[in-house]
Amino acid sequence: MRTEQPKVIHLKDYQAPEYLIDETHLTFELYEDRTLVHAQLVMRRNPERPAGKLPPLELHGQQLELLSIALNDRELGAGDYQIGAECLTLQPDSESFVIDSSVVIHPETNTALEGLYKSGGMFCTQCEAEGFRKITYYLDRPDVMSKFTTTVSAEQKAYPVLLSNGNPIASGSEDNGRHWATWEDPFKKPAYLFALVAGDLWCVEDSFTTMSGRNVALRIYVEPENIDKCQHAMDSLKKSMKWDEETYGREYDLDIFMIVAVNDFNMGAMENKGLNIFNSSAVLARAETATDAAHQRVEAIVAHEYFHNWSGNRVTCRDWFQLSLKEGFTVFRDAQFSSDMNSATVKRIEDVAYLRTHQFAEDAGPMAHSVRPESFIEISNFYTLTVYEKGAEVVRMIQTLLGKDDFRKGSDLYFERHDGQAVTVDDFVKAMEDANGADLSQFKRWYSQAGTPRLSVSEHYDAAAQTYRLTFRQSCPPTPGQPTKQPFVIPVELGLLAADGADMPLRLAGEAQAVGTSRVLAVTEAEQSFTFVDVAERPLPSLLRGFSAPVKLEFPYSRDQLMFLMQHDSDGFNRWEAGQQLSVQVLQELIGQHQRGEALAMDERLVEALRSVLQNDALDPAMVAEMLSLPGEAYLTEISEVADVDAIHAAREFARREIGSRLFEPFYQRYMNHREVSRQTPYVASAEHFARRALQNIALAYLMFSERADILSLCLDQFDNADNMTERLSALASLTHSPFEEKRLKALEVFAEHFHDNPLVMDQWFSVQAASPLPGGLERVQTLMQHPAFTLKNPNKVRALIGAFANQNLVNFHRADGAGYRFLADQVITLNAMNPQIASRLLAPLTRWRKYDDARQALMKGELERILASGELSSDVYEVVSKSLA
Ligand code: 0A1
Ligand code: ZN
């Protein structure tokens, strides 16, 4: 909790540490009412700092009860050191020395889930970013890297499994019913990668032979009841290990790799060296209890954490401003992996839709920051879409500009040059430059300038000269602390379509001959033109193929041109994008009609365009499903100047009903065919099967708008008889949004009865109801909070119910009387004291108040002010609230 004015930490103030820790020897004695931590730190002065008088040693430490501390075996007395709320300070008397400390901590009452805590019956840790200082006095900063040995002792019966990083080197039992195990990690690491687990766990075992022929034991530890839900994660792990060898030449380095699933976890998972700790939602998956989306998420997160072994652990961050060094790069790597494992175009569509809806909103809000932030109050607030997703886009642009082979040369040099070091984003870019003789100095503005650039494009065709000129104008709106921006380097991949839909050869003025039919232009100036020659007819440009840069593109396409691109663009992503732009135009027209009180009437052309997509059997069903998904309400909000919540909802619902009724027949055909295949095929978690089920389920949702009894029967049949959660949950979601109240309530009851002892399935049950746009949403959520399966102590539950309500149920959350806002603020105030990280994340929807009408703005700001005045705020919540009101 914040007791004084919060300190702002600035990147420009970075200084290397005065002291280093070569060895860290830890002993944990775990008890039910306390834990004793003994730490022996073998330290020396940092030779890179100025010599001279020895500076004081400031060890980080929070919420620790110090029992004893010794310097070179000499017990220190109270006068030998000072203890503050955040640090212990003492004066070393030699260049090299050993500190021994003993502290008491209380994992059993740790609800913040940071440091050492208990999740159900097991002990576990979460140390990133600054959690290790809640375990022992230490230099808790990523540029202090040390070799760790860890001994854990606990009661044998309750905690038969004792784990830490590295390799197990010794273990034994004591007479008193306790036992112990010692682990040694041969790799130097910062404290944020430390992990410890103790519990009654079972494990699934496998092995992997690395490219140099070493055998690695693989283990996934879970609570006994989940032992049947680990196979998918294990398969994903082996695929990731192989992929990283083949794609990046990266081999695993320890003899054992472990994953532990815990139920109470603030984020998705954590890449602790050799001992990844996962939110159980990111590990457990089997057909009956996890959806296709959950299976894909498990595959992606297992890969992400595994890839961190190189991009994050072997080469780590110098300081937390460099967070995107590991996160942006690793998200980029896991996205490449997922594209290779599944449909690359569908993966790109999903990522771009997510980025444009959520990261663009962050960029336009009060917490906007650059990929490498300049300052923060609480680093936990900077595990953001900007650092992760936009950071990945920035790495992707480097690959687009350099080409795949040269990018790989750069990454090889980066890993080779910096293995075992804590480095910066500049070091990463420098390796990319040095390996290729490239100059990325202007490009680096992507790391330092916040905000989403706009790129508006105009065209000029000269029929007589057969030239075609594209003029690009870029700008970037101001963000907090950055009123003006310099031009970015924007890679624009493009093609030109002829009247028959074919790509034209591309020859720029000055070039000897045409070079390909799709190419990347680097826009580097505020305004810049490119002229193509030998252009025999007026072309239609396909711009920003594959979303080659995270910008808002503006080009005055007509609806007919968009329909043409939807059919003919050789770039699959841009075919989808054309459909989205067409839908946006049509939806915005409907929004206008609703606002003017007119009867809603929808442009036929969208229906016809979707009909031809739906009837095209040659298209990947997953692409068809994506193309049939209208832009979400949150995206429509993001692109509005002032978002009219009710009009957006009404327009989108109207469009969905229209599409459902006009395309009833083809939807019915598709549904019946696909459902039949699903009925006859055992569940397989692979792209082809995901695709079929995606289209089947979107068809069902559209068909349910008909409110016909025969469709209801199909839906109920799927709900009752499906052998997998993907089909069952989609049927439940369609029912939950339907007017068949009796059937809906019955289905929800049956579902809860069946799955009441599976917390992850119950999360889905909460979310489906929380997201239902039917009137009375807030009251339903308030009632669900009383359900025995709900608890504010579990972050997954908070996200599933309260998060889903505030982020996905926009009509109910933004109801005009402000009750949704008041409810959210109440939860934030309660959670502030229990779990500051979760409280601060839950707040995000209130920070977007500038998007709404005056009345809602006042209500939202009122709630932010109420939070600010509610008492002692954590630094997490304080930072977000105060910046939102600034
Ligand atoms: N490094 C992890 C994310 C993570 C960050 C913070 C955490 O606790 C506050 C937990 C996990 C990743 O990128 O997967
Ligand atoms: Zn990560």
Residue nearest to atom 12 of ligand 1 (CA): 270
Q: For 65-82, give the DSSP string.
A: EEEEEEETTEEPPGGGEE
Residue 1: its pLDDT value, please?
Answer: 52
Residue 4: its pLDDT value, please?
Answer: 59
Residue nearest to atom 13 of ligand 1 (CA): 327
Helix (H, G, I), strand (E, B) or coil at 30: strand
Both tokens assigned to 27: 């002993």
Residue nearest to atom 3 of ligand 1 (CA): 270
Cα of 837 to ligand 2 centre, how many Å? 17
Residues in contact with 567: Cβ distance below 8 Å, sequence separation at least 6, in sequence order: 501, 575, 612
**Ligand 1, atom nearest to 383 Cα:** 5
**Ligand 1, atom nearest to 326 Cα:** 13
Cα of 376 to ligand 2 centre, how many Å? 19
Residue nearest to atom 4 of ligand 1 (CA): 270
Cα of 271 to ligand 1 centre, how many Å? 8
Residue nearest to atom 6 of ligand 1 (CA): 128
d(CA 671, CA 157): 53
Residue 127: which of 324, 379, 385, 460 has the closest Cα? 379
Alpha helices for 267-386 (secondary structure H): 292-307, 323-341, 344-354, 360-363, 385
Sheet holding 57-60, edge to edge: 57-60, 87-90, 81-83
Ligand positioned closest to the Cα atom of 277: 1
Cα of 868 to ligand 1 centre, how many Å? 27
Contact 517, 504 (CB under 8 A): yes
| Mutational test site, ligand 1, from 116, 125, 127, 128, max ligand atoms within 8 Å of CB | 128
Residue 855: which of 694, 646, 711 has the closest Cα? 646
Residue nearest to atom 2 of ligand 1 (CA): 270
Cα of 38 to ligand 1 centre, how many Å? 26
Residue nearest to atom 8 of ligand 1 (CA): 128
Residue nearest to atom 11 of ligand 1 (CA): 270
Ligand positioned closest to the Cα atom of 127: 1
d(CA 291, CA 755): 14
Cα of 25 to ligand 2 centre, how many Å? 27
Cα of 560 to ligand 2 centre, how many Å? 42
Helix (H, G, I), strand (E, B) or coil at 687: helix
The ipTM is 0.99
* Low-confidence spans in the chain with pLDDT less than 70: 1-4
The mean predicted confidence, pLDDT, of the chain is: 98
Phi and psi (nearest 5°) for 75?
-60, 130
Ligand positioned closest to the Cα atom of 333: 2
pLDDT of 252-309, one tens digit each? 999 999 999 999 999 999 999 999 999 999 999 999 999 999 999 999 999 999 999 9
Ligand positioned closest to the Cα atom of 262: 1
Ligand 1: lining residues by beta carbon, under 6 Å? 126, 128, 266-271, 304-305, 327, 380, 383, 837
d(CA 196, CA 182): 11
Residue 422: its pLDDT value, please?
Answer: 99
| Mutational test site, ligand 1, from 111, 132, 270, 379, max ligand atoms within 8 Å of CB | 270
Cα of 308 to ligand 2 centre, how many Å? 7
Ligand positioned closest to the Cα atom of 392: 2
Cα of 328 to ligand 1 centre, how many Å? 13
pLDDT of 136-170, one tens digit each? 999 999 999 999 999 999 999 999 999 999 999 99
Cα of 270 to ligand 1 centre, how many Å? 5
**Ligand 1, atom nearest to 269 Cα:** 14
Decide the pairing of beta strands 178-189 and 74-75: unpaired
Catalytic site positions: 305
**Ligand 1, atom nearest to 330 Cα:** 13
Residue 857: which of 866, 846, 867, 869 has the closest Cα? 846
Angle at 689 between CA 683 and CA 690, to 5 degrees: 105
Residues in contact with 91: Cβ distance below 8 Å, sequence separation at least 6, in sequence order: 54, 56, 57, 80
| Mutational test site, ligand 1, from 383, 385, 835, 837, max ligand atoms within 8 Å of CB | 383
Ligand positioned closest to the Cα atom of 192: 1
| Mutational test site, ligand 1, from 113, 134, 267, 281, max ligand atoms within 8 Å of CB | 267
